[in-house]
Amino acid sequence: MAAIYSLFIINKSGGLIYYKDYGSAGRMDTNDSLRLASLWHSMHAISQQLSPTTGCNGIDLLRADTFDLHCFQSLTGTKFFVICEPSAPYMELLLKVIYELYTDYVLKNPFYEMEMPIRCELFDLNLSQVVQKDRVALLAR
Amino acid sequence: MQFFSGSAPPGRGAGGPGNNAHMHMLYIFNRAGVCLLYREWNRPLRTLDPQQDHKLMFGLLFSLRSFTAKIDPTTAEKGNLGVPLLPGQGCSFYSFKTNTYQLNFMETPSGIKLILLTHSRTGDQKESLKYIYNLYVEYVVKNPLYVPGTPIQCDLFTKNLDQYVRTLI
Protein backbone atom coordinates (compact mmCIF):
# COMPACT_ATOMS: atom_id res chain seq x y z
CA MET A 1 0.00 0.00 0.00
CA ALA A 2 1.71 3.13 -1.18
CA ALA A 3 1.19 6.53 0.34
CA ILE A 4 1.73 8.07 -3.08
CA TYR A 5 1.87 6.52 -6.53
CA SER A 6 4.11 9.10 -8.17
CA LEU A 7 5.62 12.55 -7.89
CA PHE A 8 6.20 15.10 -10.65
CA ILE A 9 8.05 18.40 -10.47
CA ILE A 10 7.53 20.89 -13.29
CA ASN A 11 9.55 24.05 -13.90
CA LYS A 12 7.90 27.38 -14.59
CA SER A 13 7.79 26.82 -18.37
CA GLY A 14 6.02 23.51 -18.01
CA GLY A 15 8.96 21.18 -18.57
CA LEU A 16 9.34 18.10 -16.40
CA ILE A 17 12.39 18.32 -14.15
CA TYR A 18 11.73 15.42 -11.82
CA TYR A 19 9.60 12.30 -11.97
CA LYS A 20 9.53 9.44 -9.48
CA ASP A 21 7.23 6.47 -9.57
CA TYR A 22 6.39 4.68 -6.33
CA GLY A 23 4.19 1.88 -7.57
CA SER A 24 1.86 2.57 -10.47
CA ALA A 25 0.41 -0.48 -12.19
CA GLY A 26 1.53 0.40 -15.70
CA ARG A 27 5.01 1.47 -16.73
CA MET A 28 5.16 4.96 -18.12
CA ASP A 29 8.07 5.82 -20.38
CA THR A 30 9.92 9.14 -20.36
CA ASN A 31 8.08 10.60 -23.32
CA ASP A 32 4.71 9.95 -21.76
CA SER A 33 5.71 11.52 -18.45
CA LEU A 34 7.01 14.59 -20.31
CA ARG A 35 3.77 14.93 -22.24
CA LEU A 36 1.64 14.53 -19.14
CA ALA A 37 3.66 17.12 -17.29
CA SER A 38 3.26 19.77 -19.99
CA LEU A 39 -0.41 18.86 -20.35
CA TRP A 40 -0.88 19.46 -16.65
CA HIS A 41 0.97 22.77 -16.87
CA SER A 42 -1.40 24.01 -19.60
CA MET A 43 -4.53 22.83 -17.84
CA HIS A 44 -3.43 24.46 -14.63
CA ALA A 45 -3.16 27.72 -16.55
CA ILE A 46 -6.50 27.31 -18.35
CA SER A 47 -8.31 26.62 -15.09
CA GLN A 48 -7.20 30.04 -13.90
CA GLN A 49 -8.78 31.64 -16.95
CA LEU A 50 -12.12 29.96 -16.37
CA SER A 51 -12.48 31.16 -12.82
CA PRO A 52 -15.76 32.98 -12.08
CA THR A 53 -13.99 35.25 -9.59
CA THR A 54 -10.63 36.96 -9.51
CA GLY A 55 -7.56 35.67 -7.75
CA CYS A 56 -7.51 32.08 -8.92
CA ASN A 57 -4.22 30.24 -8.48
CA GLY A 58 -4.96 27.13 -10.50
CA ILE A 59 -5.96 23.58 -9.61
CA ASP A 60 -5.06 22.41 -6.09
CA LEU A 61 -6.82 19.09 -6.09
CA LEU A 62 -8.15 16.86 -8.84
CA ARG A 63 -10.36 13.96 -7.84
CA ALA A 64 -10.82 10.99 -10.13
CA ASP A 65 -12.36 7.56 -9.69
CA THR A 66 -9.18 5.70 -8.81
CA PHE A 67 -6.76 8.41 -7.66
CA ASP A 68 -6.39 11.97 -6.39
CA LEU A 69 -3.93 14.52 -7.66
CA HIS A 70 -2.64 17.19 -5.29
CA CYS A 71 -0.75 20.11 -6.74
CA PHE A 72 1.33 22.76 -5.07
CA GLN A 73 2.62 25.77 -6.94
CA SER A 74 5.44 27.79 -5.43
CA LEU A 75 5.61 31.57 -5.76
CA THR A 76 8.16 31.18 -8.55
CA GLY A 77 5.88 29.00 -10.67
CA THR A 78 7.47 25.62 -9.96
CA LYS A 79 4.73 23.00 -9.60
CA PHE A 80 4.89 19.90 -7.46
CA PHE A 81 2.17 17.33 -7.90
CA VAL A 82 1.56 13.88 -6.46
CA ILE A 83 -0.73 11.10 -7.59
CA CYS A 84 -2.13 9.35 -4.53
CA GLU A 85 -4.99 7.15 -3.39
CA PRO A 86 -8.44 8.74 -3.17
CA SER A 87 -8.89 10.74 0.06
CA ALA A 88 -5.32 10.16 1.21
CA PRO A 89 -4.71 12.51 4.16
CA TYR A 90 -1.93 15.06 4.70
CA MET A 91 -0.92 15.35 1.05
CA GLU A 92 -0.62 19.14 1.19
CA LEU A 93 1.77 18.73 4.10
CA LEU A 94 3.80 16.18 2.17
CA LEU A 95 4.03 18.58 -0.77
CA LYS A 96 5.28 21.36 1.49
CA VAL A 97 7.92 19.01 2.93
CA ILE A 98 9.00 18.06 -0.59
CA TYR A 99 9.21 21.74 -1.45
CA GLU A 100 11.49 22.28 1.53
CA LEU A 101 13.71 19.41 0.41
CA TYR A 102 13.79 20.94 -3.06
CA THR A 103 14.94 24.30 -1.72
CA ASP A 104 17.55 22.72 0.53
CA TYR A 105 19.08 20.06 -1.70
CA VAL A 106 18.42 21.34 -5.19
CA LEU A 107 18.33 25.13 -5.15
CA LYS A 108 21.18 25.46 -2.71
CA ASN A 109 23.28 23.06 -4.76
CA PRO A 110 25.83 25.28 -6.58
CA PHE A 111 26.09 22.82 -9.49
CA TYR A 112 22.38 22.75 -10.18
CA GLU A 113 21.26 24.74 -13.23
CA MET A 114 17.88 26.39 -12.91
CA GLU A 115 14.99 24.84 -14.84
CA MET A 116 17.10 21.79 -15.72
CA PRO A 117 16.25 18.18 -14.73
CA ILE A 118 17.13 17.47 -11.12
CA ARG A 119 20.10 15.16 -10.61
CA CYS A 120 20.95 15.63 -6.96
CA GLU A 121 21.71 12.52 -4.92
CA LEU A 122 20.94 14.10 -1.58
CA PHE A 123 17.55 15.19 -2.84
CA ASP A 124 16.70 11.66 -3.99
CA LEU A 125 17.92 10.21 -0.72
CA ASN A 126 15.97 12.53 1.53
CA LEU A 127 12.92 12.32 -0.67
CA SER A 128 12.77 8.52 -0.45
CA GLN A 129 13.22 8.79 3.32
CA VAL A 130 10.29 11.17 3.59
CA VAL A 131 8.04 9.09 1.37
CA GLN A 132 9.01 5.88 3.16
CA LYS A 133 8.30 7.47 6.53
CA ASP A 134 4.92 8.57 5.19
CA ARG A 135 4.19 5.07 3.99
CA VAL A 136 5.11 3.50 7.34
CA ALA A 137 2.98 6.03 9.18
CA LEU A 138 0.07 5.22 6.90
CA LEU A 139 0.40 1.47 7.46
CA ALA A 140 0.64 1.98 11.19
CA ARG A 141 -2.67 3.86 11.30
CA MET B 1 -39.86 9.03 -13.56
CA GLN B 2 -36.37 8.84 -12.14
CA PHE B 3 -33.42 7.14 -13.79
CA PHE B 4 -31.28 7.56 -10.73
CA SER B 5 -32.20 7.08 -7.11
CA GLY B 6 -35.19 8.74 -5.58
CA SER B 7 -35.95 12.26 -4.60
CA ALA B 8 -33.89 15.42 -4.79
CA PRO B 9 -30.86 15.41 -2.50
CA PRO B 10 -31.53 17.62 0.54
CA GLY B 11 -30.54 21.24 0.18
CA ARG B 12 -28.20 22.74 2.70
CA GLY B 13 -30.90 24.56 4.65
CA ALA B 14 -33.22 27.35 3.55
CA GLY B 15 -30.51 29.81 2.56
CA GLY B 16 -31.10 33.46 1.83
CA PRO B 17 -33.74 34.60 -0.66
CA GLY B 18 -32.18 33.98 -4.06
CA ASN B 19 -28.68 34.37 -2.70
CA ASN B 20 -26.65 32.21 -5.04
CA ALA B 21 -23.26 32.88 -3.56
CA HIS B 22 -22.41 29.21 -3.72
CA MET B 23 -23.43 28.26 -7.22
CA HIS B 24 -21.59 30.01 -9.99
CA MET B 25 -22.34 28.44 -13.35
CA LEU B 26 -23.62 25.37 -15.12
CA TYR B 27 -22.61 24.13 -18.56
CA ILE B 28 -24.13 21.26 -20.50
CA PHE B 29 -22.30 19.95 -23.56
CA ASN B 30 -23.14 17.14 -25.91
CA ARG B 31 -20.70 14.67 -27.51
CA ALA B 32 -19.78 16.99 -30.34
CA GLY B 33 -18.87 19.88 -28.10
CA VAL B 34 -21.99 21.91 -28.73
CA CYS B 35 -22.89 23.90 -25.64
CA LEU B 36 -26.51 22.94 -25.02
CA LEU B 37 -26.91 25.09 -21.97
CA TYR B 38 -24.95 27.75 -20.15
CA ARG B 39 -26.54 29.05 -16.99
CA GLU B 40 -24.96 31.68 -14.80
CA TRP B 41 -26.03 32.68 -11.31
CA ASN B 42 -23.02 34.37 -9.87
CA ARG B 43 -20.09 35.32 -12.06
CA PRO B 44 -18.25 38.52 -11.18
CA LEU B 45 -15.41 37.88 -13.66
CA ARG B 46 -15.72 37.12 -17.34
CA THR B 47 -12.41 36.84 -19.15
CA LEU B 48 -13.57 35.77 -22.61
CA ASP B 49 -16.59 36.21 -24.85
CA PRO B 50 -19.18 33.39 -24.52
CA GLN B 51 -18.15 31.39 -27.62
CA GLN B 52 -14.49 31.30 -26.63
CA ASP B 53 -15.43 30.54 -23.06
CA HIS B 54 -17.48 27.49 -24.09
CA LYS B 55 -14.75 26.22 -26.39
CA LEU B 56 -12.15 26.66 -23.70
CA MET B 57 -14.24 24.81 -21.16
CA PHE B 58 -14.90 21.91 -23.53
CA GLY B 59 -11.23 21.76 -24.52
CA LEU B 60 -10.15 21.73 -20.89
CA LEU B 61 -12.47 18.83 -20.11
CA PHE B 62 -11.39 16.87 -23.16
CA SER B 63 -7.73 17.25 -22.21
CA LEU B 64 -8.36 16.52 -18.55
CA ARG B 65 -10.10 13.29 -19.44
CA SER B 66 -7.18 12.18 -21.63
CA PHE B 67 -4.83 13.19 -18.84
CA THR B 68 -6.60 11.25 -16.10
CA ALA B 69 -7.02 8.17 -18.29
CA LYS B 70 -3.30 8.15 -19.03
CA ILE B 71 -1.96 9.00 -15.59
CA ASP B 72 -4.22 6.47 -13.82
CA PRO B 73 -1.92 4.41 -11.59
CA THR B 74 -4.24 1.45 -11.22
CA THR B 75 -4.58 0.20 -14.79
CA ALA B 76 -1.69 -1.23 -16.75
CA GLU B 77 -3.02 -0.98 -20.29
CA LYS B 78 -3.65 2.60 -21.30
CA GLY B 79 -4.12 4.01 -24.74
CA ASN B 80 -2.02 6.77 -26.18
CA LEU B 81 -2.38 10.32 -25.03
CA GLY B 82 -4.59 12.37 -27.30
CA VAL B 83 -6.72 9.54 -28.61
CA PRO B 84 -10.38 10.57 -28.23
CA LEU B 85 -11.98 8.58 -25.44
CA LEU B 86 -15.46 7.12 -25.44
CA PRO B 87 -17.73 8.05 -22.53
CA GLY B 88 -16.89 5.70 -19.70
CA GLN B 89 -13.61 4.54 -21.20
CA GLY B 90 -10.65 4.95 -18.89
CA CYS B 91 -10.53 6.57 -15.50
CA SER B 92 -12.39 9.87 -15.42
CA PHE B 93 -12.14 12.72 -12.97
CA TYR B 94 -15.28 13.96 -11.26
CA SER B 95 -14.17 17.13 -9.58
CA PHE B 96 -11.32 19.59 -9.25
CA LYS B 97 -10.79 22.37 -6.80
CA THR B 98 -8.93 25.66 -6.96
CA ASN B 99 -8.73 28.35 -4.32
CA THR B 100 -11.67 30.28 -5.81
CA TYR B 101 -13.98 27.62 -7.24
CA GLN B 102 -14.74 23.95 -7.53
CA LEU B 103 -15.64 22.32 -10.80
CA ASN B 104 -17.88 19.24 -10.67
CA PHE B 105 -18.12 17.09 -13.75
CA MET B 106 -20.36 14.28 -14.85
CA GLU B 107 -20.43 12.47 -18.17
CA THR B 108 -23.33 10.24 -19.10
CA PRO B 109 -22.99 7.17 -21.35
CA SER B 110 -24.60 9.15 -24.17
CA GLY B 111 -21.82 11.70 -24.04
CA ILE B 112 -23.73 14.50 -22.32
CA LYS B 113 -21.33 16.39 -20.09
CA LEU B 114 -22.62 18.34 -17.11
CA ILE B 115 -20.32 20.85 -15.47
CA LEU B 116 -21.23 22.69 -12.32
CA LEU B 117 -18.97 25.38 -10.91
CA THR B 118 -19.51 26.01 -7.24
CA HIS B 119 -17.91 27.76 -4.32
CA SER B 120 -14.58 26.27 -3.33
CA ARG B 121 -15.71 24.64 -0.12
CA THR B 122 -18.84 22.85 -1.33
CA GLY B 123 -19.07 19.14 -0.71
CA ASP B 124 -19.46 16.38 -3.25
CA GLN B 125 -21.91 17.30 -5.98
CA LYS B 126 -22.42 13.93 -7.67
CA GLU B 127 -26.02 13.68 -6.47
CA SER B 128 -26.81 17.22 -7.57
CA LEU B 129 -25.43 16.53 -11.03
CA LYS B 130 -27.46 13.35 -11.28
CA TYR B 131 -30.58 15.27 -10.32
CA ILE B 132 -29.86 17.96 -12.90
CA TYR B 133 -29.39 15.25 -15.52
CA ASN B 134 -32.76 13.87 -14.49
CA LEU B 135 -34.32 17.28 -15.04
CA TYR B 136 -32.65 17.39 -18.46
CA VAL B 137 -34.14 14.02 -19.37
CA GLU B 138 -37.61 14.93 -18.20
CA TYR B 139 -37.94 18.45 -19.56
CA VAL B 140 -35.64 18.47 -22.56
CA VAL B 141 -35.19 15.01 -24.01
CA LYS B 142 -38.83 14.10 -23.58
CA ASN B 143 -39.90 17.40 -25.11
CA PRO B 144 -41.10 16.54 -28.64
CA LEU B 145 -40.27 20.02 -29.90
CA TYR B 146 -36.64 19.84 -28.84
CA VAL B 147 -34.11 19.06 -31.57
CA PRO B 148 -31.18 17.07 -30.11
CA GLY B 149 -27.86 18.77 -30.61
CA THR B 150 -29.23 22.29 -30.47
CA PRO B 151 -29.09 24.73 -27.57
CA ILE B 152 -31.81 24.19 -25.00
CA GLN B 153 -34.64 26.67 -24.91
CA CYS B 154 -37.16 24.96 -22.65
CA ASP B 155 -38.67 27.32 -20.08
CA LEU B 156 -39.80 24.56 -17.77
CA PHE B 157 -36.30 23.15 -17.65
CA THR B 158 -34.62 26.43 -16.75
CA LYS B 159 -37.32 27.27 -14.24
CA ASN B 160 -36.97 23.94 -12.44
CA LEU B 161 -33.22 24.14 -12.65
CA ASP B 162 -33.12 27.58 -11.02
CA GLN B 163 -35.54 26.42 -8.38
CA TYR B 164 -33.42 23.37 -7.61
CA VAL B 165 -30.17 25.29 -7.52
CA ARG B 166 -31.67 27.75 -5.05
CA THR B 167 -32.21 24.85 -2.65
CA LEU B 168 -28.58 23.79 -2.88
CA ILE B 169 -27.15 26.74 -1.00
pLDDT per position as a tens digit, B108-167: 999 999 999 999 888 888 999 999 999 999 999 999 999 999 999 999 999 999 999 988
Residue-level pLDDT at A23: 83
Give per-residue pLDDT as tens, B1-26: 444 444 455 444 444 344 456 888 99
How high is the ipTM of this complex?
Answer: 0.89
The per-residue DSSP string of chain A comes to --SEEEEEEE-TTS-EEEEEES--SS---HHHHHHHHHHHHHHHHHHHHT-SSS----EEEEEESS-EEEEEE-TTS-EEEEEE-TT-TTHHHHHHHHHHHIIIIIIT-TTPPTTSPP--HHHHHHHHHHHHHHHHHHHH-
A contacts of B71 (beta carbons < 8 Å): 28, 36, 67, 69, 83
Beta-strand relationship, A59-64 and B93-98: antiparallel
Give per-residue pLDDT as tens, A18-29: 999 988 887 788
Predicted confidence band of residue B168 (pLDDT cuts 50, 70, 90) = confident
Residue-level pLDDT at B21: 67
Contact between chains at B63 and A51 (C-beta distance less than 8 A):
no
Residue-level pLDDT at B12: 45
Q: What does the pLDDT average to over B89-114?
A: 92
For residues B161 and B135, is the Cβ–Cβ distance under 8 A? yes
For residues B48 and A50, is the Cβ–Cβ distance under 8 A? no
Whole-model pTM: value is 0.87
In degrees, to the nearest 5, what angle opens at C-alpha A74 toward C-alphas A136 and A114?
100
Q: Is it the case that residue B96 has pLDDT exceeding 80?
A: yes
- The region, left, alpha or beta by phi > 0 then psi within -120 to 50, assigned to residue B131 is alpha
DSSP H/E element including B61: helix B50-71
Contact between chains at A54 and B100 (C-beta distance less than 8 A):
yes
Contact between chains at A47 and B99 (C-beta distance less than 8 A):
no
Q: Which of B105, B109, B108, B97 is nearest to B126 (CA)?
A: B105
Low-confidence ranges of chain A (pLDDT < 50): 1-2
Question: Can you say how many angstroms the Cα of residue B94 is from the centroid of all Cα atoms in its chain?
Answer: 10
Residue-level pLDDT at A138: 60
Residue-level pLDDT at B151: 92
Beta bridge partners of B35: B29
Contact between chains at B73 and A25 (C-beta distance less than 8 A):
yes
Confirm or reject contact between A36 and chain B (CB < 8 A): yes
- CA distances to A10, A107, A124, B116, B139 from A79, rounded to whole Å, are 5, 14, 17, 26, 44
